[in-house]
Structure 1
Amino acid sequence: MARQRIVTFATTGQSLPGEVAFGVLRTKVLREMRANGWKRLAITSPGANCGKSTVTLNLAFSLAKQKDVHTIVAELDMRRPSLAKMLGVKGKTGFDTVIEGKADFASLAVRPRPNLAFGLNYSRAQSPAELLQSPTVGPALARIEAAYAPDLMIFDMPPMLVNDDTLAFVGQVDCVLLVAEAGTTSMREIDVCERDLAAQTNVLGVLLNKCRYMEKNDGYGGYN
């Protein structure tokens, strides 16, 4: 997991660089979502390779360290699914079948912690944008929430500027965290994404990732 930059995975008490930063992110996310009564958080980025999936996993395992917080992570980047590979998990039936109403979440959930479960994808889904705005999506999410009552549902979304998948779905969530890559993502790209997101939901914030020239204890990006 350390090779995949999942610095919050260990439960032995050892601290890897960046773990404290994700603890701060966890606290800020929980505080804001509880204050607003929000349950559903999407994580996306303007373009590819910004590290949104790495941020998703680190936030999820950091949340799991709070025993009273129950989290479900759903992978909705269905063109280039990556979470299963990052976690070292193999399977056949993906979370896309839950969205389609063809499978129950319980039959495919991966549960690495008592209070953390993942819905993963193992291959590319057919017509992701159409699936993400289909009438089966809302009822599928409602069934999961009714059965498991998670404190948070986190959705690992595709990059916004490469297709319309994320815009097809974000109306289903309470807020979105936008992950930008330092030195690569432009302010114009961030502005475009923020405007498009704000038209459908709440923008929780912008996280600057892969900052290589910051002081050791500054910001969230130093872990990378």
Structure 2
Amino acid sequence: MADANPPSPGDTTILRLANLAGFTPPISEVKKHRIVGFDNRDARARPFNLLRTSFAKKLREDGHRLVGITSATPAAGKSFLSMNLASSLARVVEEPVFLVDLDIRRASLAEEVGLVPERGVESFLEGSVVDLTEIGHRIEGTNLGLFPSVRRTSNTAELLAGDRFTQMIENLRGRCEASTILFDLPPAFASDDAMISLSQLDGYILVVDSGKTTRRHILDVLAMLSPTPCVGTILNRYSGGLGDSYGYGYGGPDYGKYYNLTDPSS
């Protein structure tokens, strides 16, 4: 839930967007990875603009602030959706939006914007970085802060279950100016990393891959991640129902989305 006693604006220990290293994503990388949320003039950003409105309304209603984004299985497009939702949301809120890469085994968010970090969230969790400001990046010209990870292929569960992760969440919840903090999580069935992470978050969004994710997948994920509430679901790669094709080319020739931030079990 949102912190009832937010830090004082005069407290210099607050994690602020302005204190993060600035980074300008190369246009070539943004286009390559179909990151359209930064540009409100791009017609392909329309579904993300609609999604951010529903998402922001849901967060206000529920009082959530730290929200994970996961899927049942790999290759559902959750990291793509995380980046586009965060960048689109950051264009319309007054306070910063932070996006944190907790899919440490895959760690793809930095790559999507052309960032090549030497260290990231994994370094903070390992203890070699003591201040989150050291690993955060301010996306120039936006209200978005990105906290990337550098890939680790082992011991990720131990990192997420450790005291350093608890400290990171406490800092983000109580000593951070961001209005919304999104976490790109691993797929729920890939390991127990998502389950461990979500035990300290306010809720999560479940990305459903149209034609691949089954009802059984959804029910099993809801049971597995309980009692952390599911804020809603996003049906990804949906090729009908909105009246046009958005032509993302992500996982196929047509890439549309239909989203429903309601009870996913209904």
TM-score by length of 2: 0.76
Q: What secondary structure, in the 3-state scheme, does the structure 1 residue paired with 2:43 have?
A: coil
Asked if the contact 2:104–2:149 (Cα under 8 Å) also holds between the matched residues in 1, the reply is yes
Q: 1:1-224 counterparts in 2 under 5 A?
A: 1-10=30-39, 13-17=40-44, 19-103=45-129, 104-113=131-140, 114-124=142-152, 126-197=154-225, 199-216=226-243, 222=256
Distance in 2 (CA, whole Å) between partners of 1:214 and 1:3 is 27
Decide which moves more: 122-131 or 79-88: 122-131
Distance in 2 (CA, whole Å) between partners of 1:191 and 1:218 is 29
Query: CA offsets, 1:91-124, max 9 Å, x none?
Result: 2111112234432111121111452111101222
- 1:79 Cα deviation from its structure 2 partner: 0.8
- 1:222 Cα deviation from its structure 2 partner: 1.4
- 1:169 Cα deviation from its structure 2 partner: 1.3
Query: CA offsets, 1:170-222, max 9 Å, x none?
Result: 1111111000111111111111001222x231101111101124443599x61
Q: What percent of counterpart residues are identical?
A: 28
Q: What secondary structure, in the 3-state scheme, does the structure 1 residue paired with 2:158 have?
A: helix
Question: Aligned AA for 1:3?
Answer: K
Runs of 4 or more, structure 1, over 4 Å off, are: none
- 1:145 Cα deviation from its structure 2 partner: 3.9
- Structure 2 residues not aligned, in runs of 5+: 1-29, 247-254, 259-266
Decide which moves more: 32-41 or 119-128: 119-128
Distance in 1 (CA, whole Å) between partners of 2:244 and 2:229 is 29
Question: Could you say which structure has the larger radius of gyration?
Answer: 2
Asked if the contact 1:46–1:179 (Cα under 8 Å) also holds between the matched residues in 2, the reply is yes
> CA-atom RMSD, angstroms?
2.1
Question: Aligned AA for 1:89?
Answer: L
Decide which moves more: 56-65 or 144-153: 144-153
Cα 1:131–1:176 shift into 2, 3 Å:
same
Question: Aligned AA for 1:4?
Answer: H
Asked if the contact 1:41–1:177 (Cα under 8 Å) also holds between the matched residues in 2, the reply is yes
- Structure 1 residues not aligned, in runs of 5+: none
Query: CA offsets, 1:42-79, max 9 Å, x none?
Result: 00000011000011001111111114031111100011
Cα 1:218–1:187 shift into 2, 3 Å:
farther
Q: What secondary structure, in the 3-state scheme, does the structure 2 residue paired with 1:79 have?
A: coil
Cα 1:200–1:99 shift into 2, 3 Å:
farther
Decide which moves more: 36-45 or 66-75: 66-75
Asked if the contact 2:69–2:204 (Cα under 8 Å) also holds between the matched residues in 1, the reply is yes
